[in-house]
Amino acid sequence: MILLESRVARAAVPLARFSTMLRYVRSLCLLLFVAGLPAFAQVGTDLSEEQRKQYNAGLKEVGTLIKEKQFETAESKLDALISQRPREPQARFLKGVVESELGHADAAMTIFRDLIADYPELPEPYNNLAVIYAQKGDYESARIALETAIRTAPNWAVARENLGDIYARLAATEYERAAKLDRDNKTAPAKLTMVRNLLSASPPAKPKS
């Protein structure tokens, strides 16, 4: 439990605990149908039916490897798929997921940002980028990314839940600042404690697969 000092609370929730509450998405398959985006967005000649089946089989194999936490093997297979179809979003998205799982946050952010630049209508890259921002403590950038995701997919519950968590963390930050600015303020520390308890009570959310 985090204690109050001179009626001013410390940070409401440790970053490591808070960041695990955000839902991290590992699949782009459903989104492609929702957004109406062709499964293969590479400019030029499309794959033959047999090549398409092989490509889809490769994506399915990578998905299994990710679930089994065989991230290095998954990364190798994704590199091969991306070399075949450099602009196809599914393999690139999964590469971002793998980089995140391997702890390569900056590489993952680059991948998600490039996807956003190429396919701004896809909400999943915004969501996963927001999770990384939150892990880095940049909650304002996380808020902007999640609000953008919701504008592209208003009925997506995952992004809305994550945005609620970000709003709560931002609220905690402002309550803490208010308490520091006015040490006679009794309401700000009380609100800070309430938000802190709310976030601490929330169980870590499992990534959507």
Segment-wise mean pLDDT, segments of 10 residues, the chain, 209 residues: 26 36 63 37 59 88 92 96 90 94 95 96 94 93 96 93 91 86 84 80 48
Could you list the residue range(s) of the whole structural domain that residue 164 is in? 1-26+122-209
Look at residues 99, 119, 139 and tell me which one is the last residue of a structural domain.
119
Same domain, 109 and 129: no
Cβ distance 93 to 80 under 8 Å?
no
pLDDT for the residue 28? 60
pLDDT for the residue 189? 83
Nearest to 166, CA basis, from 188, 201, 142: 142
pLDDT for the residue 46? 65
Look at residues 101, 119, 137 and tell me which one is the last residue of a structural domain.
119
Cβ distance 172 to 196 under 8 Å?
yes
Burial class (CB in 10 A: 0-12, 13-18, 19+), 81: buried
Question: In this structure, is residue 108 part of a structural domain?
Answer: yes
Look at residues 119, 149, 172 and tell me which one is the last residue of a structural domain.
119
Same domain, 22 and 64: no
Output the domain CATH number for residue 89. 1.25.40
pLDDT for the residue 56? 87
pLDDT for the residue 27? 65
Same domain, 128 and 108: no
Question: In this structure, is residue 40 part of a structural domain?
Answer: no
Same domain, 137 and 102: no
Same domain, 100 and 65: yes
pLDDT for the residue 186? 82
* Domain count of the fold of the chain: 2
